[in-house]
Amino acid sequence: MSKQSNDGDARLTIAVGPKDHVKGAEHAPITLVEYGDFPVPVLREAYPSSSRSRSGSARACGFAFRNFPLTRIHQFAQHAAEAAEAAAAQGAYWQMHDRLFERQFALEDENLLEYARDLASTPTGWAAS
């Protein structure tokens, strides 16, 4: 969601801030904000592109992901978002984010627990994303 500013630029209604999960330049002139639900198939298809943009243009732009679980249509959406936030509390949001998209076909509670255990048992928290 955005609104028009006095200078004609579009601005997010809720600006990117410390509660957001952001990669890339801290004060980038452009920040792409994605509202996402881990079980959405089209987001899984877009994931490789967004992953490349997060790592490839770190100086030019930022990338923020906001969990937006569509609980009425996706049975596992809420728990997947909560798993990502729990990982964030451990400093490993992006690792869990990536795992959830890579294993979108397995988002049941036992899978989420397995991913959390894997993350906790790996000193570096899986490969850096």
pTM, to two decimals: 0.78
Domains of the chain, first to last: 2-121 (3.40.30.10)
Residue 129 is predicted with a pLDDT of: 45
Question: Tokens 């909560």 sit at which residue?
Answer: 82
Q: What is the pLDDT of residues 9-58, one digit of tens each?
A: 667 788 888 899 998 877 788 888 899 999 998 887 776 656 555 555 55
For the segment 5-12, the average pLDDT, to the nearest whole number, is 64
How far is the first Cα of the chain from the last one, in angstroms, to the nearest whole number? Answer: 27
Q: What is the pLDDT of residues 116-128, one digit of tens each?
A: 999 988 876 555 4
Average of per-residue pLDDT values in the chain = 83
